[in-house]
Amino acid sequence: MRAEDAVQSVLKRDPAVWDLFTRKEEYSSTDLDAHGRFPFASSKFKDIRRPIASEFLQANGYEVLYPEDRTFAVCLTHDVDLLNPQFAVRRILNKGGRKSLRKLLRVANKAVNPYWTFKKIISIEDSYDANSTFFLMGLAPGDEDFNYLVEDMRPELGRIVDSGSDVGLHGGHEAFMSLEKIIEERKRLEKAAGCPVVGYRNHYLKIKVPSTWRLLEKAGFDYDSTLGYPDTPGFRNGMCHPFHPYDLEEQHELNLLELPLAFMDATLLDRQEPDVGQAWDVIKDMIDRCRKCNGVATIIWHNDRMGKECGKLYEKTMRYCRDNGAWMTSGANISKWWRKNGWIKRR
């Protein structure tokens, strides 16, 4: 038996670890936030920054060998929510408040679209011998949070693919519970990109366990990377490694691969509102935890977060990962490699 096939039987040895890994508490919970998401505040697992399940596997003799003898991996991803400043201004106005007004003025005063950062991102990542996944929305006019037509982005989609990076679907507000929406939005993106779209992440990190995973598997996606909390960094199911979700209701492992999140820029820089120095302390801590666990740190850095201090913080993150021996790559590359290699059991 391959080590990868035995992983879940090992996790079952500790009922608390198994419950955390499978997200058992989410199956029956009705305590959801305004966006229909299970919030961290409702979880009984509060040691969120510890990859408890991954540590358990490591303690039981499991490890991962990455390409070129890298010690750990970093999955670089970018959620493309905003591209059209006119729509962005409308969203900012709807939020209200002084902070939103200041952001509105910054956007309005830009002579050049501040969100069109694809070339900059690709250039930065290329300098670190890295690539990434860009999750783009396949929405139509009238859909909630519609901000751009993906059909208008063909040149940039070509640039992304030609650079060795990956294009994934950033599902809309309704997609996480609608197979019809998932398929519709994916077809729109694939037509614009001219290539298959194998990866998925839902807008606002909306996910319903296990229903969303079932839908994504039925739609034929190779991997998902939605599992994480929007209001705090950390490991929602205790894993800092890719894993195949286990469906507790249907009692079987899914073929879909989940790349769980470690942290997101917006969580650190908006919701928790620390300064950049405080954000860096959290980022470094999360990366170090993944590195010590021989794991995969999956991070989100939005295309509209590449200016000034935020852009410098992203480069600092990449530099730290490179200097500590990370393999920095896209979700598609992680998934392809993991399915072929995955866990190994030390003798």
Q: Looking at residue 165, what is its pLDDT?
A: 97
Q: Looking at residue 270, what is its pLDDT?
A: 79
Decide: 254 and 247 in contact? Cβ < 8 Å: yes
The DSSP secondary-structure symbol of 330 reads -
Distance of CA 201 to the CA centre of its chain: 6
CA–CA–CA angle 186, 190, 191 (5° rounding): 120
The rounded percent of the chain whose pLDDT value lies above 70 is: 90
CATH of the domain at 206: 3.20.20.370
Domain count within the chain? 1
Rounded CA-CA distance 176/211 in Å is: 8
Q: Looking at residue 282, what is its pLDDT?
A: 95
Q: Looking at residue 85, what is its pLDDT?
A: 74
Is 108 within a domain?
A: no
* pLDDT tens column, 8-35: 999 999 999 999 999 999 999 999 999 9
The pTM for the full model equals: 0.92
Q: Looking at residue 113, what is its pLDDT?
A: 83
The DSSP secondary-structure symbol of 314 reads H
Q: Nearest Cα to 229, choosing from 33, 38, 20?
A: 38
Rounded CA-CA distance 244/252 in Å is: 10
Q: Looking at residue 277, what is its pLDDT?
A: 85
pLDDT category of residue 100 using cuts at 50, 70 and 90 = low
Decide: 8 and 253 in contact? Cβ < 8 Å: yes
Is 290 within a domain?
A: yes
pLDDT category of residue 196 using cuts at 50, 70 and 90 = very high
Is 61 within a domain?
A: yes
pLDDT category of residue 201 using cuts at 50, 70 and 90 = very high
Q: Looking at residue 343, what is its pLDDT?
A: 95
Q: Looking at residue 104, what is its pLDDT?
A: 52
**Range of 1-15, 96-110, 165-179 with top mean pLDDT:** 165-179
* pLDDT tens column, 75-88: 999 999 999 876 65
* pLDDT tens column, 223-265: 999 999 999 999 999 999 999 999 999 999 999 999 999 999 9
Distance of CA 262 to the CA centre of its chain: 8
Q: What is the mean pLDDT of residues 288-295?
A: 98
Q: Which domain holds residue 171?
A: 3-82+116-345
Q: Looking at residue 335, what is its pLDDT?
A: 98
Decide: 185 and 175 in contact? Cβ < 8 Å: yes
Average pLDDT, rounded, for the chain = 92
pLDDT category of residue 128 using cuts at 50, 70 and 90 = very high
Is 90 within a domain?
A: no
Q: How many CA atoms lie within 13 A of 314 on its CB side?
A: 28
Is 298 within a domain?
A: yes
DSSP per position, 207-243: --TTHHHHHHHHHT-SEE---S-TTS-S-TTS-SS-B
Q: Looking at residue 99, what is its pLDDT?
A: 59
Is the confidence at residue 89, as pLDDT, over 80? no
* pLDDT tens column, 49-61: 999 999 999 999 9
Is 42 within a domain?
A: yes
